[in-house]
Amino acid sequence: MAMQLRVTDGAITNRVLANLQGNLTRVGNLQEQLSSGKQISRPSDSPTGTVSAMQLRGESRAVQQYTRNASDGLGWLGVIDTALTSSLSQTGKVRELVLQGMSAGTASTPDAREAIAAEVENLRKSLIGVANTKYLDRPVFGGTTTGERAFDGNGSFVGDTGTVMRTVGDNSKVQVDANGAAVFGANGTDSQLFTVLESIAANLRGSNTAGLDADLQNLDVAIGTIKTNLADVGARYNRIETSRTAADDRLLNVKSKLSEIEDIDLPNTIMQMQLQQTAYQAALQATAKVIQPSLMDFLR
Amino acid sequence: MASTFSGITTALSSLYAQRRALDVAGQNIANANTEGYTRQRVQMTSASGNTMPTMWSTSDGIGNGVAISDIRRTRDEFLEGRGREERANISYLTNQKQQFVTIENTFAEPSDTALQHQLGELWGAFGDVANNPNDKAIRTALIQQGNTVVDGIHSAYNALGAQWKANRDQADALATEVNTLAKNIAQLNTTIQRATAAGLPVNEMADQRDVQLMKLSELTGATASIQADGTAAVYLGGSGLVQGVTAREIRVTGADRLQNQTGDPANSVAVRWADSGTPAQVGGTLASIQDTLVTTIPKYANSLDGVAANLANTVNTLHAGGYGLDGVTGRAFFTGSTAESIKVAFDNPDFVAASSTAGTFDAANADALADLATTPGGAGETYAVMIANLGVEAQSVDRRQAIQAVVTQDTDAARESFAGVNLDEEMTQLITYQRGYEAASRVLTAVDEMLDVLINRMAV
């Protein structure tokens, strides 16, 4: 305060009012903080805090999206894993049937060979069904095809070579599909699974032992390809799961940082509130004492 | 030798003077709570004997009583001048503070609902389309999210426009108020000038005029100086607003909506002299409103335009590189590139260019769009920079206002301590003059008794 020669009633009143107002404003601010639970409610409360808060919110949103992308990717890979496991067991069954057909040799009757051939054909159909497995209405082996199927009824690959990717972290994209042409063999190649199976059925019916030999080699190549892909799918599944765990951890981290910046320290704020209330009450009491008496009270 | 009866007139002059002083103390007490009232002091002068003795006019060396030479307003023009200046400053800053509170409320950051959040949701929606490019419902949700962002930008821009318009209207109203105040001051000047010439007291009128001057300074930062004839000369940035008995007028010219407020000085909002059309330099509330209209709001509107342009540009560039479900490429996602005009270009979910290869569910393009969430220099970052600037500016205004409030309080207190009424003091004065009156009466009685002896009892 500037030095004053005189003190007037007006000056005292103004000062008292200003002090009480200041006290009440601080109480009001603390009350706002307590009721909202936030120490930053507008940019001017802390410009740097606000920017950090905004960045952290953006980061939190992005990380949550990574988690969603990862879940979706795990969905794809899980379906593919099941399909490939089922394919392996069915191709294994075919392999047994081929061996059975070969070992029986010429001794077996045409009826018996026909029965085996029919079973192989059934397994082929079932495998085509497996190869057309869908996840969320998309054939998981069809690449980025807009079509309904990855393989047509004849076992020809009708998908495309596009890859389905999921972003599971900053600059971290993982392929979540397995291309039908890569898994089951490209159209026109000898080891294309469905071509092999067709050939097996025909050679069984025709008792073509030499043909069955070649078929068996091709079938082993096809089975090997499926196994490799299954391992690859498993590896990618793990990679996405790791990313998701990392994203969850990061989200927790981001949220605690955000809370650190934005949220009030409750015990501290409550204590400040107590102090401020005490100060306000003291100011009120002091005012009551100062304002009251004047010379008039002592003159008759 | 002095007159036999001279004692009576001396006592009488004292009775008059003490009464007058009692009245003044009474007036002070009566106005203890009147805003702008200046306490008055009776200036008593002892009436001297003749200092130039002549044959018929000689003096015994004793005075002839007391006279009231002046009833003075206890007012320090220097303090008043400072008071006007500080009040103008606090008015400016308080208005600025309010403007920034409004702008901060407009953007409402940081929060889980404002534009930053909506932008995040938009990137998320692109991510969802990347996950399910075949799902039309998710594509539709993306378009809706685009609309939400656009709505957020529009409503922020409209809020700035509304704030601008409210200030523009207030500027006109303030100009009218300023003109009225200036006219009132000129009128009071007229009255004061005449009364001073006639030797009549002008204290209460001067008080009234000072109140109006203070109000004028708060509104416009006007400065004033009191002239020898008692009139106040009022200046706006060095140019006379009120000179003696004449007042000039100001008016606010220029754009009438935010969109029309440009850097072009011919179009820009300005406070001008009504007669000459040249710009008037103002301070106080009017200056704050002028700054808000010319600088602050347009600045944040431009920043918002920048955010909109950045958003439209970054999204459109990527989007145009992709293919919609209908196989068409080169489509923009947003049309318009200002905060006012930006819109989502289509409402057909098939048009969302999620694929980077035609005729496939390859969602690489949607994925690239989702990556804008973390791309440096994107719309989110532009927006965050703007909010940071807003925070810093608002905080600085807040602090300056808080400091200025203390300075203003101090100046007001100093003025009040000089010019204000202290009841204790007035009570003391009251008793002093009351006693003076009683004593003068006692003198009169003594002279009366003395004359009684002389006239009625001598030589009886």
> pLDDT for B365-392, tens place per residue?
999 999 998 888 999 999 999 999 999 9
B125: nearest CA in chain A? A65
**DSSP symbols for B360-408:** B---HHHHHHHGGGT-TTSHHHHHHHHHHHHHHHHHHHHHHHHHHHHHH
**Mean pLDDT over all residues of chain B?**
92
Residues of A in contact with B105 (CB under 8 A): 42
Q: Rounded to whole angstroms, how far apart are CA atoms B118 and B146?
A: 9
CA B181 to chain centre: 15
Per-residue CA distances from B149 to A71, A125, A263, B75, B116 (Å): 26, 50, 27, 60, 9
Which residue, among A140, A144, A149, A294, would best test binding to B if mutated, counting the most B CBs under 10 Å from its CB? A144
Q: Mutate which of B98, B300, B424, B430 to test chain A, going by most A C-beta atoms within 10 A? A: B424
| pLDDT of the residue at B51 | 61
How many Å apart are CA B238 and CA A162, to the nearest integer? 76
Residue percentage of chain B with pLDDT more than 90: 79
CB contact under 8 A, B109 and A9: no
Strand B246-247, strand B250-253: pairing: unpaired
Q: Give the containing element (helix H, strand E) for B344.
A: strand B343-344
Answer yes or no: is pLDDT of B56 > 70: no
pTM of the model: 0.87
pLDDT at residue B28 greater than cutoff 70: yes
What integer is the mean pLDDT of B188-216? 92
Residues of A in contact with B413 (CB under 8 A): 1-2, 4, 11, 14-15
Q: Is the pLDDT of residue B160 over 50?
A: yes
| Contact flag A5-B395 (C-beta cutoff 8 Å) | no
CB A60 within 8 A of CB A251: yes
Q: Which of B132, B359, B417 sits opposite A11 (nearest CB)?
A: B417
On whether the CB atoms of residues A185 and A192 are closer than 8 A, the answer is: yes
Residue pair B203/B71 in contact by the 8 Å Cβ criterion: yes
Instruction: Say how far apart CA B181 and CA B187 lie, in whole Å.
Output: 10
Length of chain A: 300
Q: What is the pLDDT of residue B83?
A: 95
Q: Do B134 and A146 touch (CB under 8 A)?
A: yes
Low-confidence ranges of chain A (pLDDT < 70): 1-5, 104-107, 292-293, 300
**Would you place residue B47 in the very low, low, confident or very high pLDDT band (cuts 50, 70, 90)?**
confident
Confidence at residue B74, expressed as pLDDT on a 0 to 100 scale: 87
ipTM of predicted assembly, 2 dp: 0.86
CB pairs under 8 A between A and B: 187
What per-residue confidence (pLDDT) applies to A249? Answer: 95
Name every chain B residue with its beta carbon within 8 A of the beta carbon of A144: 355, 357, 360-363
Mean pLDDT, chain A, rounded, equals 90
Per-residue model confidence (pLDDT) at position B55: 67
Considering CB atoms only, which of A9, A72, A162 is closest to B421?
A9
Cα Rg, chain B, nearest whole Å: 38
Q: How far is CA A155 from CA A4, A122, A191, B32, B146, in A?
A: 102, 13, 13, 105, 43
Torsion angle (degrees, nearest 10) of CA A185, A186, A187, A190: -60
Question: Which chain B residues are Cβ-neighbours of A40 within 8 angstroms?
Answer: 110
* Nearest C-alpha neighbor of A23 from the set A289, A291, A279, A288: A279
Which of B75, B76, B107, B109 to probe by mutation at the A interface, max A CB count within 10 Å? Answer: B109
